[in-house]
């Protein structure tokens, strides 16, 4: 888990939080998971510059809300068996960071089923958008 909340680069940004939602997806690497869908709970936080977002919450939701990432996540779910939970989180964070206004993002995901030999059922990634070098 990263200390993103202490990072000074986020000072001039507004955090938008997509509350927990569930996704039914074929995920996992254990033999009993292969080809079988299970519920994954996800949270997404992303940061946009204060200067490009209105202060009115309703208008902010029109500018940056879950709808911009929903098609990409649905496409991932339709790909078939995705493998590791880390892959789903990494692909999701890339989708979020592709939005032109997003500066940084954090994605957390947790599988609904955990097996005894599995140390953790959750993954979290925080990442800044890479600046484009000219």
For 31-48, the pLDDT digits (tens) are: 777 778 888 888 888 888
User: Residue 35's pLDDT is what?
Assistant: 76
User: Residue 104's pLDDT is what?
Assistant: 92
User: Residue 119's pLDDT is what?
Assistant: 53
Q: Is the pLDDT of residue 134 over 50?
A: no
Q: Is the pLDDT of residue 2 over 60?
A: no
Determine the average pLDDT of the residues in 123-132. 84
Contact between 88 and 26 under an 8 Å Cβ cutoff? The reply is no
d(CA 24, CA 109): 12
| Token output for 3 | 């200390």
User: Residue 82's pLDDT is what?
Assistant: 81
Contact between 96 and 69 under an 8 Å Cβ cutoff? The reply is yes
User: Chain-centre distance of CA 6, in angstroms?
Assistant: 20
Distances (CA, A) of 25 to 4, 70, 79, 127: 28, 14, 9, 24
- pTM, two decimals, is 0.77
For 48-76, the pLDDT digits (tens) are: 887 765 555 544 455 555 677 778 888 88
The DSSP letter of residue 81 is: -
| Token output for 23 | 């996704």
User: Residue 64's pLDDT is what?
Assistant: 53
| Token output for 81 | 């068996």
- Taken in order of first residue, the domains within the chain and their CATH numbers are 4-128 (3.30.1130.10)
């Amino acid at each position: 888990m990263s200390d993103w909340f202490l990072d000074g680069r986020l000072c001039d940004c507004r955090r938008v939080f997509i509350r927990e939602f569930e996704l039914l997806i074929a995920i996992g690497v254990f033999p009993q998971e292969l080809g079988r869908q299970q519920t994954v709970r996800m949270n997404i936080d992303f940061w946009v510059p204060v200067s490009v977002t209105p202060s009115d919450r309703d208008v902010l939701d029109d500018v940056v809300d879950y709808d911009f990432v929903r098609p990409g996540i649905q496409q991932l779910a339709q790909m078939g068996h995705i493998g590791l939970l880390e892959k789903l989180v990494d692909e999701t964070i890339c989708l979020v960071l592709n939005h032109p206004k997003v500066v940084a993002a954090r994605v957390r995901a947790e599988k609904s089923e955990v097996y005894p030999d599995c140390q953790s059922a959750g993954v979290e990634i925080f990442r800044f958008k890479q600046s484009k070098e000219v």
